[in-house]
Amino acid sequence: MRELDRDRGAERRQQLEVPHAGRIDTRRAGCNGPSGPSWPAVRTSLSRTLPAVAKVVQPGPALEWDTPLYHQARTQLEHALELSEVPELVSTRLRHPERALILMLPVELDDGSYRSFPAYRVQHSSLLGPTKGGIRYDEEVDLGECAALAMWMTWKCALLRLPYGGAKGGVRCNPRELSTPELARITRRLTAELAPFIGPELDIPAPDMATNEQTMAWMMDTYSMQMGHAVPEIVTGKPVSIGGSLFRQEATGAGVVMVVERACERLGWDLAQQTCVVQGFGNVGGVAASELHAKGAHVVAVSDVSGGVHSPLGLDVPALHAYVAENRSLEEYTADVERITNEELLELECDILVLAAREDQVTSANAGKLRCRLVAEGANGPISVAGDAILAERGIPVLPDILTNAGGVTVSYFEWVQDLGRLFWDRDEIRRRLADKMSDAFDRVWNVSQERGITLRDAALVAAIHEVSGALVARGIYP
Ligand code: NAD
């Protein structure tokens, strides 16, 4: 294992690093939930499973964000660094986020009681421009998750050649148990607390799990009230009426299908002949299912957190959307479908499996049981390092998250550019520009993978690291 932080400041920083305070969150240690294996056991099993595939990070003194998901992002990075031949200043700088913020948000609930919600914002790299990344509301949000997701955002922006670095944030809460006024108060308090650390030239939030256009509208309004004038460019993914971009809401799911389509072309497959399974039926998965359906592919199963629906003849995707719009979930949907669990859904026989729910869905426990020919990562980090190794061994190609779900941040970039220029483009132009960007990134990744005989994930990381490396070498480390 290479040494961490072998630069001039290493000794000083080691003195500042706080030893880990004890329990590491084991909820991420596979898809086994709180009763799953402990993190040390997972780490030992990773070390056994992966020596030939990836160098597993053996952390030095633990930092606060050192959780299993961050470990996954770091392990991917270490492996890609081995393939990237970049100077040491690059690896030293990119291994850790630049800045991390921990907040407690005091909020009045509808019944008059008060509750404090933990919240986080992590900024990984400001090298190429402002940091950019979503805000999620979820019970499992923690600092390590935000740090991992922020690092992945850096690679995603670099790979798409967007002038941004990565960030991520969130509030640890159960959004399904909160009313709209409570969510508004959480969002406004979060924005006020974040105000000194975000800004159109500094850090630009966007929607993520369980946040949406309305959340971004509350953020934009709160920030604008503090500045004394409208600042639409502070967030992306907001409503069109306040400076949002056409096609932003559909961009991530549409981008997923653009990448799947390009991959099918390279593999010599006709997308319209393929059977598809989509895990997650929210912003990303719902749109991906619609786009696949519109292109003639057979979407045979979809799921949300309540479970899945399956029909070997193909699902009526518009009817599913209409049902969810009315009932908020697929839970009671039974029309001409078989109800299945999310575990069963992942193991269905199909051509293309789109993972668009959340991280850590395919692990060493189930990667050997997948019966698809191609996996597309619509979610961030849905495949663990061990799961990835098993799929690689089985010859199942994975279209990696930092490429496949980059449509959202790309149209976010278009939204920011439109807001700054106060000049707005039409839907066709945005869709065309997105297709160009996704196609260009896909081709670069595919070519690196073919030329070097490495997985698409490694190729995407290597291509992204080279973009960042060029900038860092040119700028150098300050002072
Ligand atoms: P969302 O909240 O709109 O949808 C998430 C969907 O997944 C919902 O249908 C939910 O019920 C389902 N789900 C949650 N847990 C599940 C589980 N354990 N099993 C099966 N289904 C489950 O969120 P989203 O915006 O669609 O984001 C999904 C993923 O895509 C996240 O990893 C997010 O970080 C990533 N992503 C989102 C965007 C974007 O623009 N929204 C961009 C890039 C990446």
Q: How many CB atoms lie within 10 A of CB 389?
A: 21
Element (H, E) at 215: helix 213-227
- CA gap 342, 85 in Å, rounded: 40
Q: In this structure, is the dihedral angle defined by the CA atoms of residues 97, 195, 132 and 218, taken in order, positive or negative?
A: positive
Any idea how long the chain is? Answer: 479
Is 236 a pocket residue for ligand 1 (Cβ < 6 Å)?
no
CB-based burial of residue 170 (10 Å sphere; 0-12 exposed, 13-18 middle, 19+ buried)? buried
Q: In this prediction, what percent of the chain has a pLDDT beyond 90?
A: 87
Phi, psi angle pair for 110, to nearest 5°: -65, -30
Which of 32, 160, 216, 283 has most ligand 1 atoms within 8 Å of CB, for mutation? 283
pLDDT reported for residue 28:
34
Average pLDDT value for residue range 213-233: 98
CA dist list (Å): 12 to 16, 47, 178, 348: 7, 30, 44, 52
171-187 pLDDT per residue, tens:
999 999 999 999 999 99
pLDDT reported for residue 30:
32
pTM of whole model > 0.85? yes
Active-site residue, selected from the candidate residues 156, 168, 238, 437: 168
Gap from CA of 420 to ligand 1 centroid (Å): 29
Which of 304, 317, 328 has most ligand 1 atoms within 8 Å of CB, for mutation? 304
Is 281 a pocket residue for ligand 1 (Cβ < 6 Å)?
yes
pLDDT reported for residue 57:
59
Please indicate whether residue 238 is annotated as part of the active site: no
**N-to-C CA span, the chain:** 29
What is residue 20's DSSP assignment? P
Confidence of residue 58 (pLDDT cuts 50, 70, 90): low
469 by DSSP, 3-state: which? Answer: helix
Average pLDDT of the chain, as a whole number:
90
Average pLDDT value for residue range 146-169: 98
Residue owning the nearest CA to atom 23 of ligand 1 = 209
Check if the beta carbon of residue 335 is closer than 8 Å to that of residue 2. Answer: no
- Decide the pairing of beta strands 298-304 and 307-310: antiparallel
- CA gap 128, 470 in Å, rounded: 10
| Ligand 1 atom nearest to 207, measured from its CA | 41
pLDDT reported for residue 430:
98
242-301 pLDDT per residue, tens:
999 999 999 999 999 999 999 999 999 999 999 999 999 999 999 999 999 999 999 999
90-104 pLDDT per residue, tens:
999 999 999 999 999
Average pLDDT value for residue range 386-396: 97
Tokens 């004890």 found at = 22
Is 342 a pocket residue for ligand 1 (Cβ < 6 Å)?
yes
Confidence of residue 474 (pLDDT cuts 50, 70, 90): very high
Check if the beta carbon of residue 33 is closer than 8 Å to that of residue 360. Answer: no
Element (H, E) at 206: strand 203-207
Is 410 a pocket residue for ligand 1 (Cβ < 6 Å)?
no
Confidence of residue 432 (pLDDT cuts 50, 70, 90): very high
- CA gap 264, 16 in Å, rounded: 50
Residue owning the nearest CA to atom 4 of ligand 1 = 282
Q: Which residues on neighbouring strands pair with residue 279, listed in sequence order? A: 303, 355
Residue owning the nearest CA to atom 17 of ligand 1 = 305
Gap from CA of 242 to ligand 1 centroid (Å): 25
Check if the beta carbon of residue 206 is closer than 8 Å to that of residue 156. Answer: no
- Asked if the model's pLDDT at residue 144 lies above 90, the reply is yes
Check if the beta carbon of residue 205 is closer than 8 Å to that of residue 216. Answer: yes
- CA gap 249, 412 in Å, rounded: 10
Instruction: Of 65, 99, 63, 96, give the one whose Cα is nearest residue 78.
Output: 96
pLDDT reported for residue 33:
32
Residue type at position 318? P
**Per mean pLDDT, which range of 64-68, 144-148, 202-206, 242-246 is the poorest?**
64-68
- CA gap 156, 461 in Å, rounded: 9
Q: In this prediction, what percent of the chain has a pLDDT beyond 70?
A: 87
Gap from CA of 113 to ligand 1 centroid (Å): 30
- Write out the DSSP string of 99-111: EEEEEEEEEE-TT
66-76 pLDDT per residue, tens:
999 999 999 99
Sequence-ordered list of residues with C-beta below 8 angstroms from that of 157, at least 6 positions apart, any chain: 128, 132, 163, 164, 165, 166, 409
pLDDT reported for residue 62:
83
pLDDT reported for residue 9:
34
Average pLDDT value for residue range 141-166: 98
Q: List the structure tokens of 123.
A: 């900024």
Is 280 a pocket residue for ligand 1 (Cβ < 6 Å)?
yes
- CA gap 19, 60 in Å, rounded: 10
- Asked if the model's pLDDT at residue 53 lies above 60, the reply is no
300 by DSSP, 3-state: which? Answer: strand
- Asked if the model's pLDDT at residue 319 lies above 60, the reply is yes
Q: List the structure tokens of 145.
A: 């998750």
| Ligand 1 atom nearest to 359, measured from its CA | 32
360-373 pLDDT per residue, tens:
999 999 999 999 99
- Asked if the model's pLDDT at residue 51 lies above 70, the reply is no
